[in-house]
A and B are shown apart, each in its own frame.
Chain A
Amino acid sequence: GAGVSQTPSNKVTEKGKYVELRCDPISGHTALYWYRQSLGQGPEFLIYFQGTGAADDSGLPNDRFFAVRPEGSVSTLKIQRTERGDSAMYLCASSLSGYEQFFGPGTRLTVL
């Protein structure tokens, strides 16, 4: 009965490194969303999964960003060659209906 969980809660990396951020949605939720939130801003959409497939990846800023959800449950957001501008809170949300979304606690990424 747990909510959405994300790991790690904090990630500090150096410019140019590769990072993976994990999201565990609420069990049975078929829709999963990734967002990026910078200080003083609302969540910014990155990618949306319906089941295993990416239904909409129009929010990914460039080809350094990639996400997978191989079994239709856990999802991993992957960022290659990180840049300082990638520093932000990365939020995951899941939904059963496609409307009401439940957010995870986020992963705060800091790129030095």
Chain B
Amino acid sequence: GENVEQHPSTLSVQEGDSAVIKCTYSDSASNYFPWYKQELGKRPQLIIDIRSNVGEKKDQRIAVTLNKTAKHFSLHITETQPEDSAVYFCAATIPIPTFGRGTSLIVHP
């Protein structure tokens, strides 16, 4: 089955800095890569996604890049704000999603 590795497990940044979270996957058949944000005690919420026929996608301060050859994809958050603090999960889908273990992002004011 699919195996997704996510790094780092914790990321601490100053407000205004950029944050990058990286994921690798094992099955080249994976074709859809969503990113979810989960605040403490809340449900996961989709923040951005990318399909395998696209290399990059951007939505305001958030971008995702995909390298199919290397089987890795990354989440980039620019101009971080304290409200970006949460746990972020990546997933690789074929068609059932396999999730990474999550990255706890802490943005210090």
Contact = CB atoms under 8 A, between A and B. Distances in A.
B24 to A, nearest CB: 14
B15 to A, nearest CB: 25
Name the interface size band of chain B: 20 to 34
A43 B89 contact: yes
Name the interface size band of chain A: 20 to 34
| Chain B interface mostly | strand
A106 B91 CA distance: 19
Interface stretch (B38-46, B63-71, B74-82): B38-46
Contacts of B44: 43, 91, 103
Contacts of A99: 32, 34, 49, 51, 93, 95
Interface of B: 6, 32, 34, 36, 42-46, 49, 51, 89, 91, 93, 95-102
Interface of A: 33, 40-45, 48, 56, 58-59, 91, 98-106
List of 8 A-B pairs having minimum Cβ-Cβ separation, nearest first: A42-B99, A103-B43, A42-B89, A103-B44, A105-B43, A99-B32, A43-B99, A45-B96
